Each structure stands twice: as structure tokens, then as C-alpha cells.
Amino acid sequence: MQTDSSFTFVLFGGTGDLSMRKILPALFEAHRAGGMLADSGKIVAVARHAADRGEYLQWVNEHVKPHVSKNGVDETAWASFLERIEFVKIDLGNPEDFTLLRDAVKDLPGIRVFYLATGPSLFVPICRALASVGLNENARIVLEKPLGYDLKSSNAINDAVGEIFAEEQIYRIDHYLGKEPVQNLLALRFGNALFEPLWRREWVESIQITIAEELGVEARGDFYDNTGALRDMVQNHLLQLLSIVAMEPPHSMDSDSVRDEKLRVLRALKPINPLDIGKVAVRGQYHSGVIRGNAVPAYATEPGVKQNSTTETFVALKVEIENWRWAGVPFFLRTGKRLADRVAEIVVNFRAVPHSALGVSALRAGANRLVIRLQPNETIRLYCLAKQPGEGMNLASVHLDLAFDQFFREGQMEAYQRLLLDVINGRLALFVRRDEQEAAWRWVEPILNEWKASNKPPKPYASGTWGPAAASAMLAQHGTCWLEEEN
């Protein structure tokens, strides 16, 4: 990913958690690698919790440096990275302060990128303030999730931002789309004759997509209690991963070809009848429990959570796609907090052989499966049956590891690093287009509305487990189960 593209990267929320843990470390890794960032490129941090550049760099040294480079920090590279950073102290609530930003960047080179690592309530005011000083012209704007609370509020933000920035200037980021295994999923499907003929209803029995977290809401109780797992994870991350898994081969890998195919999947999602939501949607809320030997509190007692809150911290869904390729194949989505492990993975369960002379093992659904692990370790494994050594024809599960790190000398690129480089270089394929976002909200809203209307409490589950038993029962009705013990 060599580039000569000069840039000025303006980071709003420069002292925030996202900047500290993800954005600045990703920019450093691109800088350290050499050749990924143009030498003339500058980073302009915008915040109000530092007095000047010196104080901000002190904050970067103290808070960002511990999050960079798993193999230690190259001090020479770190020092040259700090030379890229400028700082502007701005009160985002005062549009007049944006003249300070205009003056700070007017002589800096290259394309301007504005990254809004702030709360969504500030997206529109920041964009309007940028336009008021002419900084929206020939620039790119990066919007973090959540983009709205529902379809109406999402449209309101998109309408307002769209009055200031054209669609091709807007980069709605979903970091799961930048993960290496997701990229390799595209390569496996569309670069090889082996998998694509099997990637359809005749050969696939079911597909699972899981994003599980051990953490609770931590210090985000106020935010999370007004959001919930369906808005926080399903509407964006899970449905985006589903669309990548299920999409048709694009004409090319240009941005609109890829996103057109993802949109077709989202529009083909079978609408959920409100009367059937109890059968195909499970929501839960964690109670107290034990994770890795440590007692953890119930969601209801977390700071910022309202008394008797019915906000869900767990969601499991059965999803169907009404098109020729996937008709009749269930897609099971699952996400939750305070679960038994931190894992994100896609599991493609292939159908069993139609007849076996080798015993019942070969007739078991899921005996052949492809597991794409996104976190904590990024791997792809293909499982099949083989004969155990010894007398008789006894079958056992074995797997083939697609060990990319053994084939490629370069280390895997972190998701944020890839996506930030794509923004700088003007590549939109891995970012969410507005019509994709609208299609996802349109499908999710009936579930949100039914849960709100029924006012039924979420099903309880103990922290450190895999969620409510109803989530497993939903899969059992289809003769399958969640994959929960992969290493």
C-alpha cells in the first residue's frame, strides 16, 4: 500500500478513547512501516483538553504510546511520528473557533481528511462549522458509528451532512470490514474456483456470525442504556458481515461494484413479521456472574443504567435472504456483552453427504465447515472428516489452517490502519454507502418497534455464559448449535 498522496488528517476528539486506542496507533503503524504515508502528510489533532501542542504531545506520549506496536516502540520512528502532529484547541460548541482551524491548515499540503471521533450529536454541528469557513470543499469526512438512533434520525444526519459533503466525500466507517480475514474471505470466494461453486443453498446448511464480548458496558452505561445491542452491533457490524458473506460476485473491486452487491443482499433480507419476532429474535440482559475467575456485576447495577432498564445486552437472530442463491438457508446472528469468551467469527456449515457408507459421522450437519475467525486471533480454518489411525473406519474431525502469516513475510495490517489509508487514498469500497445504511435500519426497525411496544423484559443470563438458553433453543429447532469451543 505504497502512497505518494499528501494529506492533512484532522482528528476531532483528539484526546478521546478511540483516538488513543485505535486511530493514532494505526497512523503510527502506517508511518513506521515506511512508504505508506507521504512524508509531507500532517496530523492535526483537535481537542479542548490540552492547552497547546506541547501539552498535547505529552498526552500522546503518556496515553497513546502504550497502545502502539506489539513488538515494542521504535523510538526513532516514534519521534518522527510526533513531528507530523499539530494541535488546535477548539471548543466544538463555538463555530467561531473554526477560524483557528482554517488558519492552522490553510498552508498544509494535500487532501484534507476530517475524522469525527466524537459523539453523533456533534456530527452535524461540526460539518456546518467546517462549511462556514470553507473547509468542506475537496475534503473527505469520516463518520463513526452510531449514525442515528433509528431510520428517521439516521436520515436526518445523512441529509444534513449531505447538504455539505457529496456522497463520494463521506466515509462511514465500520472497522470490521477492514479486518484481514474479511478481506481474505473475498479473496477465497472470488479468486478461487474451489469455494464459489459451493457457496449456495445446495451445499450450505446454515451460517453463523458471532461477535461476543467479555466486557460489560464499563463506563458507557449512559450511552449504552439508550442504545442496546441491536443498534450498537447488529444494525451495522453484523449486517455488514452478513452482506459480505452472502453477496454475489461483483463486476470488479471498485467501490460501487462491491457496495451495489452488498446492498442487494440487505434489500433481500426477509422482513420479519411482528407476530414472529418471538420465534426468530432473542434478546437478553446480563446478570452478575464470574468471568475468568472474577466476579462481575449485573447490567442493572452498572453506573449510568436506569432502574428497571429493559435494554438488551444480548441479541440472537435467525435471518433469511430471499434470493436464488440463499433461499431456505438460515443465517444465525449473535452478539452480546459479558459472554464466556471474546470472539468474532463467521461459521459456514456445509450440508452433510446425502448417503454414507462410512457411518453416521459423515451424515452430521456441520462436519464440513469453514470458520473465519476475526478476533482475538485472525485465522481461517476448513474442517472435514478423516479416518482415525488404527483398525476400522472411524472418522474424526480434522482441519486445514490457512496460515497466511507463514506464506507472507509482512505482518497483518490492523483494520483501522487499512481503513485510514483507504480514506487518505480515496478508496470507498470498504465504507458504508448511505443506501446500505438505510436498508439495514429499515430491516431492523420492526424488531425495535415490537420490543418497545411489548415492553417485555429481556431474558436474563449469567455473566460468563453464552447468553440465554432461548438462543440455543432457536438453533436446535433447525438441527444445529452454536460453535462455541474453537481454539
The catalytic residues are: 237
Contact (Cβ atoms closer than 8 angstroms) between residue 337 and residue 313 = yes
Cell numbers that stand for 366 in this block: 456441520
- Sign of the four-CA dihedral 207, 280, 378, 340: negative
Contact (Cβ atoms closer than 8 angstroms) between residue 323 and residue 200 = no
H runs (alpha helix) in 381-431? 404-407, 415-424
The Cα 436–Cα 265 span in angstroms is 9
- Sign of the four-CA dihedral 411, 174, 222, 310: negative
DSSP one-letter string for 91-136? -TT-GGGHHHHHHHHTTS-SEEEEEE-S-GGGHHHHHHHHHHTTTT
* The amino acid at 59: W
The Cα 219–Cα 160 span in angstroms is 30
The Cα 466–Cα 332 span in angstroms is 14
